[in-house]
Amino acid sequence: MHPRDQHTGSVGNTAESAAQPLRSDAERNRARIIAAARTVFGRDGLSASMASVAREAGVGIATMFRRFPTKEELVAAVFADRMDAYVRATAEALANPEPWSGFTSYIETVCAMQAADRGFADVLTMSLPGAETLEACRAEAYQGFLELIARAKDSGDLREDFTSRDLVLLLMANAGVLSATGEHAPDAWRRPVAWMIQSFKTPARGPLPDPPEDAALYQAMRRTSLGLTSPETGKGR
- What is the helix (H) or strand (E) element at residue 15, kind and residue range? helix 3-44
For position 20, what pLDDT does the model report?
Answer: 52
- Per the DSSP assignment, residues forming a β-bridge with 201 are 158
* Bond preceding residue 97 cis, omega within 30 of 0: no
Instruction: Assess contact for 64 and 231: CB atoms under 8 A.
Output: no
Residue ranges and CATH numbers for the domains of the chain are: 18-69 (1.10.10), 70-229 (1.10.357)
Residues 6 or more apart from 221 whose CB is under 8 A from it?
A: 125, 126, 127, 168
Smallest Cα–Cα separation from 63: which of 49, 51, 77?
51
Distance of alpha carbon 46 from alpha carbon 90, whole angstroms: 24
For position 164, what pLDDT does the model report?
Answer: 93
Residue ranges of the chain with per-residue pLDDT less than 70: 1-22, 223-237
- Per the DSSP assignment, residues forming a β-bridge with 158 are 201
Phi, psi (deg, nearest 5) at residue 201: -80, 150
For position 227, what pLDDT does the model report?
Answer: 54
